[in-house]
Amino acid sequence: MSATAQAAPLVYLRDIDPTIAQDMRYATADNFTGRPLPGYTAADCLLLPQVARALSRVQSDLAAANLSLKVYDCYRPARAVAAMAAWARAKGGADTSRFYPALDKSKLFALGYIAAHSAHSRGVAIDLTVVPRGSAAAAFDPSAKYGPCTSAQRAPDNSLDMGTGFDCFDAKSHTLNASITLVQAANRRVLLEAMRRHGFANYKREWWHFAYRGADTGVAYDSPIAPR
């Protein structure tokens, strides 16, 4: 069901919990399309209110261990989902194969990494990681030649080591992948268990992707993300 002409009933995560770090990749060129996506006119996380409040409860749990959540993407306008689909079908463009080092991008649909519809557009899905509280990532350099997202030479991030970077389209990103180290698996468990305790379900092919099922109305939105 679509409500593209209707204003989305979303809240800014910063208004619910300003302690959660934000690194909104689709408002920048540091993503698998190589450019900001349509609808991201501000680098801000928006969610349905009950989802934002649940995420704040996760943050409170992690604070006891001097850790923090960091969100990469939250509400995603439907136009951005369509742009991702168009990118996957298009030939040429910027070389962003560091995000899919072992795959042809035309296979990303069939393998479940990109979809024509997304729970992000319904305000109930979040892409996120865990970082040391108070830490910051090195700046992204668009001219740098970063290594594959599965390697130690991947683009900089202050995330706990999860074995891959965010939006790494590779079997190694599957949440329970057995090829990662014990430390990386333990870091994934920290995120997985903290999110599950507060009603979030993980997508098994992406360690970073969670959805809050109890708030999902099935309505997708296309309102752009406006400056707060």
**DSSP label of 21:** E
Q: Which two tokens stand for residue 72?
A: 């990469």
Amino acid at 176: L
**The pLDDT of residue 7:** 62
Neighbour order of strands in the sheet with 125-132: 21-22, 67-73, 125-132, 209-212, 200-202
**Could you give the residue ranges of the DSSP H alpha helices within the chain?**
13-16, 49-63, 78-89, 182-196
**The pLDDT of residue 128:** 98
Indicate the pTM of the whole model: 0.95
Amino acid at 213: R
44-77: b or e for each residue (b if 16 or more CB lie within 10 Å)? bbbbbeebbbbbbebbeebeeeebbbbbbbbbbb
Options 23, 73, 206, 222, the catalytic residue = 206
- Domains of the chain from N-terminus onward: 11-215 (3.30.1380.10)
Contact (Cβ atoms closer than 8 angstroms) between residue 79 and residue 36 = no
| Closest alpha carbon to 34 in 115, 90, 111 | 90
Per-residue pLDDT of the chain (228 residues; tens, 9 = 90+): 445 444 669 999 999 999 999 999 999 999 999 999 999 999 999 999 999 999 999 999 999 999 999 999 999 999 999 999 999 988 878 899 999 999 988 888 888 888 888 999 999 999 999 999 999 999 999 999 999 999 999 999 999 999 999 999 999 999 999 999 999 999 999 999 999 999 999 999 999 999 998 889 999 999 999 998
Could you confirm whether 193 is annotated as catalytic? no
Contact (Cβ atoms closer than 8 angstroms) between residue 83 and residue 110 = no
Collapsing DSSP states into helix, strand and coil, what is residue 9? coil
